[in-house]
Amino acid sequence: MGESFLYDVSYSDGEARLWFKGLNGAVRAEKLRFYNYLLVKREQVAGLELPVYDAEEVELKLFPRGSSTFFKLYFDSVEEYRRARSALERLGVETYASDIPVAHKVLAERRVTPMTVQGAPDSVEPLPLRVMRFSLSRLEGGKLHLSVHAEEGFSVQGPLEELVEALASEVRRFDPDLVASSLSYAELRRLAAQARRMGLKLGRGDGLLEGRIFVEYSLLARIGLAGLEERSRFTVLPPAQAARVSYGRMIDMRQSYVLLTRGYAVPRRMNLNVPVRTAWEIHLYDRGGLIIRPRPGLYRGVAVLDFESMFPNLIVKRNISYETVTRRGVRRSPRGLLPELIEEALSRRLCFKRLAKLSAGELARWAEERQSELKMILVSSYGYSGNNYNRLGNPLTFEWINRASRRVMLQVLGLVQRRGYRVVYGDTDSVFLTKPDAEPEDYERLALELSERTGLPMRLDAYYEWLFLLPERGGAAGVAKRYIGFAGGRVVAKGVEAVRSGVPEFIKRAQLELARAIVEAAQRGGDLEARAELELGRLASSLRRARAEELVAGATLRREEYAARTPVFVAAQQLRANGYSVTVGDYVEYVWVDSRNPNPYLRVQAWRLYDGRCLDMAKYEEMLARALAPLLESAKVASARIPGNA
């Protein structure tokens, strides 16, 4: 079939089916004989009565060292495998390779990685997939509502059987490779089972969902197709399975697969490898990364020096792994398993991160999706290293990573302070520095020196001519990852209203305009409080004259059911009641019309239904004051007030 990639693996009694899609669009299923198995040590087999299809004696390695003789017990049906595993658990017999995905056992024999084209160079662009999405929801009054988006969208209301028939018909017509839905995996299987009872199919094969990639739309919207590919490649799982795995479990999946391919008996997940220590030892060693809380204020000339992927780099460069750490130190040889697991992912992440910064358009978006997903996986390699549900986990691994990062940061702090720099904020792997008369070139040289001293790559991430470090609401302490900076004509905002989705455009613009006005006054050496008062008066006046479209709020509908009647849920229900198609993953806009109304359905109005009624200006004044207050406190002009706001 030419160049193709594996995208699904299914298994039933005695048979595995590998689904491939060609770059030319053709789809094929490759069938092979396969019996699921588990391992039991030879000395524990005697006297066991199990419905075994076949058995063989094998010598396998144990992690971290040693080997043992096992019986590899094969079963010819899914049900017999489950019964045998349950029986062995009840008897207290230790089993190996008994809680890892069947897909791993199949692919370990074939050495095929999902979502990769064998022999072809890597591409930033996602592999070609036909994508469809749908949402199934229940309206007020119990009526069911189906929305489907493929080449064109449609929606329909009615009983479940009619909606299932409409969905199956569209799946058959469009023939998607990937289906993103509002349903959980369990709900989707129940829907597919209903379709099967009606003589219909949602998948391509014999299994309920076989032959297509089914994922939750909320996940796909968050990580993108490129991110899903990276997740699938790292876990060596088909994307539909990789989509249901938490980040910590992704590390477990990868290491289980690697052990399987290297001739190890893979132990079960629950891990009791917890060293016994005194409370004082735990106090000394079990600490997190070093954080220096921000010092709220308005600063001039602040540089951000950042370690690139600090924790993964520490793991790789210092050989920190489950089997290399002791209470006294870290062995530099032999090469540890954890560094091997993440080294390729680390290299890929840094490559895509640089590409995202150098590119534009779709290429930049795909590179960003890939580096973002790899970043989360790499961060989890650190966090999951000491987890008791990590089958290879060792708490000392986690502690040594933290200890190494703290030592590096303390080394950095000592050096920069000796050079006369002031640290105004530090967060685990980055420091915000300022020094009178220092130029960006000085910080670049400093980053290079720190890289050489620590052995870890560090760079000048940003240089702000002016920087607001913002306080927590109602307090004097600084808040991590919450600031507004001015760099080379650009405004960089983190964690504030100006960059949050769903905040009305007027509020976003007003926050940045006040920040800019204060900075301009500071540059001229003027009276900051007087300038702030003037700007606040202008903004308050502008708010009263603002057009309705400038005050539209919004949010993404993340699920069909909410515990409370949130504005986005109410607006979505309003739209559906008026015949509009709204699916999970859609961005729903609304305006505030009566925020204090006891009936949540009368507090907001969906923007597409807005009829020109008066807006709740008191609510918008409250939102404006909330966005502007931290800037006033940072600039030490908190006495300034927004006219009309208490």
- Using the 3D structure, point to which of 114, 149, 173 is the last residue of a domain: 114
Give the CATH number for residue 564: 1.10.132.60
Percent of the chain with pLDDT over 90: 80
Q: Is residue 521 part of a domain?
A: no
Q: Is residue 422 part of a domain?
A: yes
Model pLDDT, residue 314 = 96
Neighbouring C-alpha atoms within 13 Å toward the C-beta of 151? 6
Q: Is the pLDDT of residue 581 over 90?
A: no
Q: Is the pLDDT of residue 545 over 90?
A: yes
Work out the average pLDDT over 150-173. 93
Q: Is residue 194 part of a domain?
A: no
Count of domains forming the chain: 3
Model pLDDT, residue 16 = 96
Q: Is the pLDDT of residue 476 over 70?
A: no
Model pLDDT, residue 270 = 73
Candidates 375, 380, 373, 410; CA nearest to 398 is 380
Residues 323 and 446 occupy one common structural domain: yes
3-class state of residue 70 by DSSP = strand
Distance CA 465, CA 471 (A): 20
Model pLDDT, residue 406 = 92
Q: Is residue 499 part of a domain?
A: no
Q: Where are the strands (E) in 84-176, listed by range?
A: 95-96, 131-138, 144-149, 153-158
Mark 46-85 as b/e (b = at least 16 C-beta within 10 Å). eeeebebbeeeeeebeebeeeeeebbbbbbeeeebbeebb
Give the CATH number for residue 323: 3.90.1600.10
Residues 306 and 439 occupy one common structural domain: yes
Residues 416 and 563 occupy one common structural domain: no
Which of the four pLDDT bands, split at 50, 70 and 90, describes residue 478?
confident
State the amino acid at position 279 in one-letter form. Answer: A
Cα angle: 192, vertex 167, 606; to 5 degrees: 115
Residues 385 and 468 occupy one common structural domain: yes
Q: Is residue 408 part of a domain?
A: yes
* 32 or 275, greater pLDDT: 32
Instruction: Specify whether the CB–CB gap between 134 and 147 falls below 8 A.
Output: yes
Number of H helices, E strands in the chain: 17, 22
Model pLDDT, residue 164 = 96
Which of the four pLDDT bands, split at 50, 70 and 90, describes residue 644?
low
Q: Is the pLDDT of residue 285 over 90?
A: no
Residue 111 burial by Cβ neighbours in a 10 Å radius (0-12, 13-18, 19+) = exposed
Phi-psi domain of 305 (left: phi exceeds 0; alpha: psi -120 through 50; beta: other): beta
Question: What value does the mean pLDDT of the chain take?
Answer: 92
Distance CA 238, CA 103 (A): 8
- Give per-residue pLDDT as tens, 402-441: 999 999 999 999 999 999 999 999 988 999 999 999 999 9
Cα angle: 140, vertex 144, 145; to 5 degrees: 100
- Using the 3D structure, point to which of 456, 483, 510 is the last residue of a domain: 483
- Using the 3D structure, point to which of 73, 91, 114 is the last residue of a domain: 114
Distance CA 148, CA 225 (A): 19
pTM above 0.85, yes or no: no
Q: Which domain holds residue 314?
A: 284-483
Q: Is residue 633 part of a domain?
A: no
Distance CA 570, CA 140 (A): 11
Candidates 454, 615, 629, 455; CA nearest to 549 is 615
Alpha helices in 211-246 (DSSP H): 217-235, 239-242
- Give per-residue pLDDT as tens, 453-473: 999 999 999 999 999 999 987
- Give per-residue pLDDT as tens, 311-357: 999 999 999 999 999 888 999 999 999 999 999 999 999 999 999 99
Q: Is the pLDDT of residue 447 over 80?
A: yes
| 428: Cα separation from own chain's centroid | 19
DSSP β-ladder status, 213-216 and 178-181: parallel
Q: Is residue 32 part of a domain?
A: yes
Q: Is residue 438 part of a domain?
A: yes
Model pLDDT, residue 393 = 76
Model pLDDT, residue 526 = 84
Model pLDDT, residue 312 = 95
Cα angle: 230, vertex 233, 239; to 5 degrees: 80
* 25 or 641, greater pLDDT: 25
Q: Is the pLDDT of residue 604 over 80?
A: yes
Three-state SS annotation for 364-391: HHHHHHHHHHHHHHHHHHHHHHHCCCCC
- Give per-residue pLDDT as tens, 122-138: 899 999 999 999 999 87
Residues 326 and 419 occupy one common structural domain: yes
Candidates 141, 144, 154, 116; CA nearest to 238 is 116
Give the CATH number for residue 59: 3.30.342.10
Distance CA 311, CA 401 (A): 7
Q: Is the pLDDT of residue 504 over 90?
A: yes
Residues 290 and 395 occupy one common structural domain: yes
Residues 307 and 403 occupy one common structural domain: yes
Distance CA 498, CA 291 (A): 25
Strand partners, 467: 299, 485
Any idea what DSSP says for residue 129?
-
Model pLDDT, residue 579 = 84
Residues 429 and 569 occupy one common structural domain: no
Candidates 37, 101, 78, 392; CA nearest to 242 is 101
Residues 479 and 605 occupy one common structural domain: no
